[in-house]
């Protein structure tokens, strides 16, 4: 009996994450149903009840790359989102300033996204960032809409070739002297 409890304790060990929150949950009869874990990167979705859905929570939280990537260069404007895309949970990062530049391809890593950003501002503790869940939900909805209805490709640029400008007498004389001297 003791070995199964030890094995279960090992199986439900979760990686530390600043985007995971505990909230009291309600049972079906209206009473207290324990504690539910929610993910701020998923827009406040419930991961499951603590003590009941531990295996499911571990399957979602442990392979998540959001805590490590967000800690690389934490920014106030960085919004991590976790979205189910093509039946697989994917981790993406968007910027509150620049998320419309490539709406169909949000970044999966922050290494190149935040490296030379002029808007970078150090992130305060997550408890002080009040609208993180709302921002994540807004970004999830925005990107889901873009993935369903991709924007048309940008128009191709057509370069119009201009006729050469008329050459002045000085330019013609210079060119003939250059040809005469053999340069």
CA 42/CA 139 separation, integer angstroms? 10
For the entire predicted model, the pTM comes to 0.69
pLDDT of residue 2 exceeding 50, the answer is no
**Digit-coded pLDDT (tens) for 13-58:** 888 888 888 888 766 555 566 888 899 999 888 888 888 888 888 8
**Digit-coded pLDDT (tens) for 111-149:** 777 777 888 888 888 778 778 889 999 999 998 998 898
Give residue for tokens 């419930």: 46
User: 5 φ, ψ to 5°?
Assistant: -70, -40
Instruction: Report the residue count for the chain.
Output: 183
Query: In the beta sheet, which residues pair with residue 21?
Result: 38
Whether the CB-CB separation of 121 and 85 falls below 8 Å is answered with no
Whether the CB-CB separation of 63 and 103 falls below 8 Å is answered with no
pLDDT of residue 89 exceeding 80, the answer is yes
**Digit-coded pLDDT (tens) for 150-164:** 888 878 888 788 888
Start-to-end Cα distance in the chain: 95
């Amino acid at each position: 009996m003791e070995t199964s409890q030890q094995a279960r304790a090992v199986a439900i060990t979760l990686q530390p994450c600043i985007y995971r929150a505990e909230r009291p949950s309600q049972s079906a009869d209206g009473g207290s149903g324990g504690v539910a874990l929610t993910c701020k990167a998923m827009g406040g979705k419930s991961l499951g009840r603590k003590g009941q859905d531990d295996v499911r929570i571990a399957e979602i939280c442990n392979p998540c790359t959001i805590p490590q990537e967000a800690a690389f260069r934490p920014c106030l404007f960085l919004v991590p989102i976790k979205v189910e895309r093509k039946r697989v949970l994917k981790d993406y990062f968007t910027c509150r300033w620049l998320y419309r530049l490539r709406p169909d391809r949000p970044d999966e890593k922050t290494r190149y996204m935040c490296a030379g950003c002029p808007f970078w501002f150090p992130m305060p503790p997550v408890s002080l960032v009040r609208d993180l869940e709302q921002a994540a939900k807004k970004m999830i909805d925005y990107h889901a809409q873009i993935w369903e209805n991709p924007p048309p490709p940008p128009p191709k640029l057509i370069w119009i070739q201009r006729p050469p400008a008329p050459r002045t007498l000085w330019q013609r004389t210079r060119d003939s002297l250059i040809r005469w001297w053999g340069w």
